[in-house]
Amino acid sequence: MNILIRKIFAILTKRERYFIYFLFVCMVALAVVEMAGIASIMPFMAVVASPGIIEENRWLHWTYEFLRFNSRESFLFFLGILVLGMLVFSNLFKAFSTWVTLRFDNELYYTLGRRLLAQYIAQPYVFFVNRNTSEMGKNVLEEARRVIVGVISPCIQVCSSLLISLFIFTLLFAVNYTIALSIIAVLGSSYTLIFLVVRRYLARIGEEQVFSNAMKFKAVGEVLSGIKDLKILGRTGEFLNRYGFHAQRHARHNASAGTISQMPRYALEIISFGGILLIILFFLKSEQNFHHIVPLLALYAFAGYRLLPALQQVFSSVTTLRFNLAALDVVYQDLAGATRDQQGEETDKEMPEVTALPFTRQIELQQVRYYYPDTTKPALHDVDLIIPANTTIGFVGPTGSGKTTLVDLILGLLTVHSGEFLVDGVAVQGENVARWQRNLGYVPQQIFLSDDTITRNIAFGIPDKDIDMEAVQWAARIANLDAYITNELPLQYDTVIGDRGVRLSGGQRQRIGIARALYRDPKVLILDEATSALDGVTEEAVMDALRTLSRKKTIIMIAHRLTTVQSCDVIYLLEQGKIIDHGTFDELRASSEWFRHAAKQ
C-alpha cells in the first residue's frame, strides 16, 4: 500500500497532492454527516412506536421542554423534519463531494496527459529511436485515463467508503456491540475472502490489458499509415485480424473485471435481508418490548441501506484498482519523478524562447565518435570535419555509411560520445543545443505534413497570429511551389492538404518541406535527400533557387543522386562511419572508384 501511495504522489504535482488532502477532509466530514443522519432515525422511530418515551428518556424530555412543545404530535413532526433534513443535508454534501472529486479527476486527466506528453517531448531524439510512437500515444491518451479512473479515483472512493463504514460500525457498536461484531465478521470476511481469491487473476489480466491496448494502437497506426501498400498487396485483412484479436481480449478483460467488482453485491443483499430477520428474532428472544425493538430495527435497516453500498464501493474500487495497477506502473515509469514539486511544474510549461548561438566562422567536429544505444560498433568513428560558414557541403556514401547519423549530430539531435562538436569555437552541448538549433533549417527524407492548410504546414507549429505570410510566400517561391499554389489551388495558401499531405504528389510534399525549412530564413540549411522525390525539371528549378542562396547560407546536403551535389564546394565521402575522402566533384571522380561508379548512375 505504501508503494502504491508513493507512486501516485510521485506523478502528482504539489498542488494536486494538497487537493487530495482537501478531499480527505471532505471524506471525514461526509462520514460524520452520514453517521449523524443514521443516528437521527432512532429517536424518531422510538416516539412513533411509543409516544410515552418522551417522558421516559431524559434527552427526549429535555429537548421537548427546552423547545417548549405543546403536544407529542408536534414534537414527532419536529423529529420527522429533523430526520428528513439530515437526510437531505447528507445527500447534498455527498453530491458536493462527488462534484469536487469528478472535477479533480477530469482536471487531473488533462494535466497528467499533458505532463506525460511534455515529458516525451523533452526526451533526446535517441529516445524516439528506441520507442514505438503508437505506444507513447496510447500512454498519453489511454493509460493516463486509466490511472485516473482506475487507480486514483478508486483510491479516493476506497478512503471515502471506508471512513463511512467505520463511522457507521462505530455507531452500531455503541448501540449493541454483539450485533455490530457479527455484522463486521460476516460482511468483512465475505468481501476479504472473495478478494483474496481473485486478486492474482485481476493483476494478471490487468497486465495483459496494457499489452493488448498497446497492440490495438499499434495495429490501427500501422494499417492507416500503410493503407496504400496494404490495399495494393491485398493484406488489410491481416492487420484487421491483429486489431480484432487484441481488441477482443481487451473487451473480455474489461468484462471480467467489471463482473468481479459486482460479484459480492447480490449474495450480500440476501445475507443482509437474512441478517435483519435474525436481528428481529434476537430481540424477540431477549423478550424486549416491541416499542424498544422498532427504533433499533429502523436503525439497522437504515444503517444497512447506507453500509452495503459503501462496502460494495470499497470492494468494487479495490478490484478496479488491482486491475489497473499495470497502467500506473507504465505512467510512473515514464514520468519517473519528473513531476516532483518544481521539477514537475517546469515540465508542464512551454519552452522559453532562446537566442540563436552566434555563427559567423565555422562548424567543427574533432575526433567525434557516436554509438547508438545497445550497440558496440560506432556509427561514427573519429570524424574530423570543418565546414566554413556560407559554403555548400555534400555528404555521399553507400547506404549505412553514417551520413544521416552525421547530419543528426550536426542538427543537435544526437550527442557525441567522445570528441567535440564546436560552432565558432563554442561547444554545442547542454543549453547551447537549443540555441544552435535556432540557426537551422532541415528537410528530412520523409516530410511530415499535418491535415491542415499549406500556410500552417510551411509555418509549422507557429500560432496563426504570429505567421508571417511574406515569409511563407518567399519560402514557397524558393521551393518552386508558389506558382502551383496561386495558379492551381482554388483556396491557394488556405488549401487543406489532407492527412500527411495525401492530396499532393510526392514532389509537392517535398517542396512544402523545403519551404518549411526556409520559412525562418535560417543561417544553415540541411537537406537529407531533399530532392529525391522531385522530377528532373523540378529538381533543377529547386537547385537553381538554392544556388541563389549560395555564399549567403551554409548548405549541407546528403544525396544518393550525385548530380545534386555537383556544385558543392566540398563533398565528403563516408564509409562505415568514417570520412575516407573529400574534395570537389571532379576531384572525387578522379580519386574514388565508388564515386566514379555512383556518378554514372
DSSP string, 195-243: HHHHHHHHHHHHHHHHHHHHHHHHHHHHHHHTHHHHHHHT-HHHHHHHH
Same domain, 322 and 425: no
Q: Quick count: other Cβ atoms within 10 Å of Cβ 518?
A: 25
Same domain, 219 and 196: yes
Query: CA torsion sign, 46 to 49 to 51 to 57?
Result: negative
Are 345 and 13 contacting, i.e. CB atoms less than 8 angstroms apart? Answer: yes
Give pLDDT tens digits for 485-504.
888 888 888 888 777 777 77
Q: Is residue 357 part of a domain?
A: no
What single-letter DSSP state applies at residue 571?
Answer: E
What single-letter DSSP state applies at residue 575?
Answer: E
Residues 359 and 389: their CA atoms lie apart, in Å, by 8
What contacts 148, CB < 8 A, 6 or more positions away?
105, 108, 109, 112
Phi-psi region of 257 (alpha: psi -120 to 50; beta: other; left: phi over 0): alpha
3-class SS string, 319-345: HHHHHHHHHHHHHHHHHCCCCCHHHHH
Q: Is residue 130 part of a domain?
A: yes
What single-letter DSSP state applies at residue 550?
Answer: B
- The mean pLDDT value of the chain amounts to 77
CATH of the domain at 294: 1.20.1560.10
Average the pLDDT over 224-230 and give the result.
Answer: 59
Q: Is residue 2 part of a domain?
A: no
Burial label for 365, CB within 10 Å (0-12, 13-18, 19+), is: buried
Identify the domain boundary among 322, 347, 372.
347
Domain hosting residue 503, numbered range: 362-600
Same domain, 28 and 62: yes
Residue-level pLDDT at 236: 67
Nearest Cα to Cα of residue 243 among 260, 262, 228, 221: 221
299 Cα distance to chain centroid: 47
Amino acid sitting at position 274:
G
Residue-level pLDDT at 508: 78
Same domain, 280 and 424: no
Nearest Cα to Cα of residue 391 among 567, 588, 555, 582: 555
What single-letter DSSP state applies at residue 356?
Answer: P
Q: Is residue 198 part of a domain?
A: yes
Same domain, 369 and 302: no
Residues 99 and 112: their CA atoms lie apart, in Å, by 19
Are 286 and 45 contacting, i.e. CB atoms less than 8 angstroms apart? Answer: no
Query: CA torsion sign, 456 to 459 to 461 to 463?
Result: negative
Cα atoms in the Cβ-side hemisphere of radius 13 Å centred on 524? 26
Residue-level pLDDT at 346: 44
Q: Is residue 352 part of a domain?
A: no
- Residues paired with 395 in a beta bridge: 558, 572
Number of independent structural domains in the chain: 2
Sheet containing 426-427, strands listed edge to edge, beginning at the edge strand earlier in sequence: 380-388, 362-370, 418-423, 426-427
Q: Is residue 92 part of a domain?
A: yes
Identify the domain boundary among 313, 347, 381.
347
Average the pLDDT over 6-32 and give the result.
Answer: 82
Burial label for 130, CB within 10 Å (0-12, 13-18, 19+), is: exposed
Residues 542 and 513: their CA atoms lie apart, in Å, by 12
Q: Which three cell numbers stand for residue 109?
A: 486527466
Q: Is residue 137 part of a domain?
A: yes
Bigger pLDDT: 247 or 601?
A: 247
Residues 597 and 595: their CA atoms lie apart, in Å, by 5
What single-letter DSSP state applies at residue 352?
Answer: P
Same domain, 331 and 466: no
Residue-level pLDDT at 58: 75
Q: Quick count: other Cβ atoms within 10 Å of Cβ 71?
A: 10
Residues 500 and 452: their CA atoms lie apart, in Å, by 9
CATH of the domain at 424: 3.40.50.300
Residue-level pLDDT at 342: 39
Same domain, 470 and 336: no
Give pLDDT tens digits for 401-412.
888 888 889 888
Residue-level pLDDT at 225: 63
Using CA atoms, how far residue 436 sits from 122, 212, 404, 424, 458, in Å, is 17, 41, 18, 11, 21
Residue-level pLDDT at 347: 45
Residue-level pLDDT at 299: 66
pLDDT band at 339 (very low <50, low <70, confident <90, very high): very low
Same domain, 294 and 373: no
- Residues paired with 392 in a beta bridge: 555
Q: Is residue 387 part of a domain?
A: yes
Nearest Cα to Cα of residue 150 among 99, 216, 105, 208: 105
Question: Which phi and psi angles does 554 have, rounded to 5°?
Answer: -85, 120
Same domain, 111 and 175: yes
Identify the domain boundary among 287, 318, 347.
347
Same domain, 440 and 340: no
Give pLDDT tens digits for 242-272.
778 877 887 887 777 777 766 666 666 666 6
Residue-level pLDDT at 351: 52
pLDDT > 70: percent of the chain: 80
Are 85 and 47 contacting, i.e. CB atoms less than 8 angstroms apart? Answer: no
Give pLDDT tens digits for 21-59.
888 888 888 878 777 777 777 677 666 766 777 776 777
226 pLDDT more than 50:
yes
431 pLDDT more than 60:
yes
Residue-level pLDDT at 262: 66
Same domain, 263 and 384: no
Question: Which phi and psi angles does 520 have, rounded to 5°?
Answer: -95, 15
Same domain, 82 and 229: yes
Using CA atoms, how far residue 265 sits from 179, 330, 365, 598, in Å, is 21, 31, 70, 76
Give pLDDT tens digits for 452-493.
888 888 888 788 888 888 888 888 888 878 888 888 888 888
Question: Which phi and psi angles does 490 have, rounded to 5°?
Answer: -60, -35
